[in-house]
């Protein structure tokens, strides 16, 4: 399964059927289910593909998509940099080997402890950069004695992406309004080392969204030029990430070189361009393995119960997201429409409804694809379920994260 070919020869998207079925089955047999299965080689290949498409830009992996140590180490080994949105992500990036001077922290209504962590980190790492989207946050930084590198997050008023909950570019929560950006930047520049302008317009952008995404990049560039005319030269303009992946089998992948060309044309700035891919790097690098425990025929559908749940993968419940499903035990059986759901006591705990899947039977092993982005990151202990294990399957199965136990679930209540 290890990808040894040049990046230019690796497929732009890994479909669920491309995974090594025997290797996944061996991982499930050894480590149990539900189980996250990660291919670190795919993480590196995806990062290098987008890095090659933007040779003049700085490509920073957005850790919020998957902050697992193995993923961060894979990105760093591919020569990548890391952007963090919380103190915990900063801490994990440093533990994975990142140079604090190369990190960027994007603060969104940061808790006091997060901001203190970042300010203290900046005191010992002068190359560290803090991005904030509210003057109040900059006041709080100053109160902590921080006067180092900062970027101003602006709100371009244009949001794109696969769901309204991720279209951040038009959400007032994120960034200083465009019409106030230059004035705010001047205020910030008097107190800190202002090095950049930042914005992020949305997530999961595919071909149909690209025109609007480029319009947002043009808007960000215009704001950056206005800021530059007010405060002087900027080191970088960060347009965020948002590059999507095709979750559905019939969706084509992004032609990332074409995307890069269009973004370069839209980004008219006299500063280094920064992009922050997250989902693009990890989505197709991980899948979930889950075992069928119940098959129930009803007048309306065949219900297939599995041991994974919305506590394992919440995206279908949260975003109505599509994730491909494959029967690894018997992929050649006749496909029948089934509804696959987990053990949680809510109708939201469903991975698909009336979808054709090779007829599942009790004991079969199913794979749920495209689970690397915001999969384990959003896993929970709902219903007091221990979070699953995570293994690497780019060689012999290697345990990356052990399965929680019931004692882990209640440990903080007893300590």
CATH number for the domain including 210?
3.20.20.10
Report how far residue 123's alpha carbon sits from residue 303's, in angstroms, rounded to the nearest whole number: 56
Q: Tens digits of per-residue pLDDT, 323-332?
A: 999 999 999 9
Based on the fold, state whether residues 288 and 355 are members of the same structural domain: yes
Judge whether residue 93 has pLDDT over 90.
Answer: yes
Q: The domain containing residue 226 runs over which residues?
A: 99-277
Say if residue 264 is in the same domain as residue 159.
yes
Residue 276: name the closest of 201, 339, 354 by CA: 201
Residue 275 has pLDDT above 90, yes or no: yes
Residue 227: inside a domain? yes
Evaluate the CA torsion angle 103, 108, 111, 112 in order and state its sign: positive
Q: What is the pLDDT of residue 242?
A: 86
Indicate whether 214 and 238 sit together in one domain: yes
Q: How many domains does the chain have?
A: 2
Q: β-strand 104-107 against 160-161: which pairing, if any?
A: unpaired
pLDDT digit string (tens) for 165-183? Answer: 444 445 678 789 999 999 9
CA distance 95 to 92: 5
Which residues, listed in sequence order, are joined to residue 392 by a DSSP beta bridge?
A: 38, 398
What predicted TM-score, i.e. pTM, was given to this entire model? 0.94
Q: Please compute the mean of the pLDDT values over residues 82-107 and round it to a whole number.
A: 97
Is 319 part of any domain? yes
Residue 358 CB: number of other CB atoms within 10 A?
20
The mean pLDDT of 200-221, rounded to a whole number, is: 84
Same domain as 335, residue 207: no
Predicted local confidence at residue 300, as pLDDT: 87
Would you state the structure tokens that stand for residue 358, as one six-digit string? 């090779």
Per-residue model confidence (pLDDT) at position 8: 59
* Residue 2, pLDDT above cutoff 50: no
Taking alpha carbons only, the member of 344, 330, 338 closest to residue 382 is: 344
Same domain, residue pair 266 and 314: no
For residues 118 and 227, state if they share a domain.
Answer: yes
**Spatial distance between the Cα atoms of 306 and 351, rounded to a whole number of angstroms:** 10
Q: State mean pLDDT over 91-116.
A: 97
Q: What is the CA radius of gyration of the chain?
A: 22
Kindly report, residue by residue over 367-413, the tens digit of the pLDDT: 999 999 999 999 999 999 999 999 999 998 999 999 999 999 999 99
Shared domain check, 313 and 216: no
- CA–CA gap between residue 66 and residue 280 (Å, rounded): 11
Same domain, 254 and 191: yes
Per-residue confidence (pLDDT) for residue 6, from 0 to 100 = 58
Residue 345 annotated among the catalytic residues of the structure: yes
Express each pLDDT in 283-306 by its tens digit: 999 999 999 999 999 998 999 999
Q: What is the pLDDT of residue 210?
A: 85
Give the end of a domain, one of 241, 262, 277: 277
Last residue of a domain, one of 234, 249, 277: 277
Identify whether 407 is part of a domain. yes
151 and 123 in one domain? yes
In a domain? residue 87: no
- The answer to whether residue 89 is domain-embedded is no
Residue 280's contacts (CB-CB under 8 Å, 6 or more residues apart) are 46, 50, 241, 243, 244, 245, 254, 256
What pLDDT shows up at residue 10? Answer: 81
pLDDT at 208: 77
Per-residue pLDDT at 167: 43
Q: Which of 287, 344, 345, 352 is the catalytic position?
A: 345
The whole-chain average pLDDT of the chain stands at 93
298 and 380 share one domain: yes
Task: Point out the domain boundary residue: 242, 277, 312.
Answer: 277
Does some domain include residue 239? yes
pLDDT at residue 137 is higher than 60:
yes
Q: Do 201 and 330 fall within a single domain?
A: no
Domain at 379, CATH number? 2.40.37.10
Identify whether residues 261 and 320 lie together within a single domain: no
Cα–Cα–Cα angle for 94, 98, 102, rounded to 5 degrees: 115
Residue 291 domain-assigned? yes
Is 117 a domain residue? yes
Query: Residue 160's pLDDT is what?
Result: 52
């Amino acid at each position: 399964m290890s990808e040894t070919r040049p990046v230019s020869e690796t497929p732009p998207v890994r479909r669920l059927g491309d995974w090594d079925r025997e290797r996944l089955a061996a991982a499930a047999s050894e480590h149990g289910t539900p189980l996250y299965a990660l291919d670190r080689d795919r993480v590196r290949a995806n990062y290098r593909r987008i890095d090659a498409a933007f040779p003049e830009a700085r490509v920073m992996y957005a850790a919020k998509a998957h902050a697992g140590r193995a993923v961060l180490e894979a990105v760093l080994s591919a020569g990548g940099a890391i952007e963090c949105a919380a103190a915990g992500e900063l801490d994990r990036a440093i533990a994975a080997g990142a140079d604090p001077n190369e990190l960027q922290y994007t603060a969104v209504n940061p808790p006091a402890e997060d901001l203190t962590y970042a300010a203290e980190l900046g005191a010992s790492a002068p190359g560290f950069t803090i991005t904030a989207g509210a003057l109040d946050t900059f006041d709080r930084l100053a109160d902590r004695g921080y006067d180092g590198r900062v970027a101003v997050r602006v709100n371009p008023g244009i949001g794109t992406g696969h769901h309204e909950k991720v279209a951040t570019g038009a959400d007032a929560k994120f960034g200083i309004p465009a019409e106030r950006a230059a004035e705010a930047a001047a205020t910030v520049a008097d107190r800190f080392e202002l090095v950049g302008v930042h914005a992020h317009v949305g997530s999961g952008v595919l071909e149909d969204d690209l025109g609007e995404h480029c319009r947002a990049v043009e808007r960000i560039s215009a704001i950056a030029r206005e800021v530059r005319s007010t405060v002087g030269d900027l080191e970088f303009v960060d347009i965020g990430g948002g590059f999507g992946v095709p979750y559905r089998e019939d969706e084509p992948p992004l032609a990332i070189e074409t995307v890069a060309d269009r973004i370069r044309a839209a980004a008219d700035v006299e500063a280094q361009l920064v992009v922050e891919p997250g989902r693009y790097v990890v989505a197709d690098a991980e899948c979930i393995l889950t075992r069928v425990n119940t098959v129930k025929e009803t007048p309306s559908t065949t219900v297939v119960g599995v041991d994974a749940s919305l506590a394992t993968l919440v995206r279908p419940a949260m975003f109505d997201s599509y994730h491909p499903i494959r029967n690894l035990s018997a992929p050649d059986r006749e496909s029948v429409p089934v509804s696959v759901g987990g053990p949680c006591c809510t109708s939201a705990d469903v991975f698909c409804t009336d979808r054709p899947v090779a007829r599942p039977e009790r004991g079969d092993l199913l794979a749920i694809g495209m689970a690397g982005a915001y999969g384990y990151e959003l896993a929970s202990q709902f219903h007091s379920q221990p979070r699953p294990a995570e293994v690497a399957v780019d060689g012999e199965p290697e345990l990356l994260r052990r399965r929680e136990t019931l004692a882990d679930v209640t440990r903080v209540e007893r300590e």
